[in-house]
Amino acid sequence: MIDMKNYDFQEKQFQISDPIESYFECITTCNIQDGKCIARCVEILKENDNKIF
């Protein structure tokens, strides 16, 4: 089960232009023990990184 305060926040391709800042915004929505949530934030970071280059 994904336990996030605001799951939709992750799915919105953050309004923040800096991928690293977006990553930190994402992980702050995760429960520290929820590896799936944190892994999803990493995937979002990777996706954003691929869009930049």
Cα–Cα distance, 52 to 31 (Å, whole number): 28
Give residue-wise pLDDT tens across range 14-23. 455 788 988 9
CB atoms within 10 A of CB 48: 18
Q: Where are the domains of the chain?
A: 16-52
Give residue-wise pLDDT tens across range 29-38. 999 899 999 9
Cα–Cα distance, 30 to 51 (Å, whole number): 24
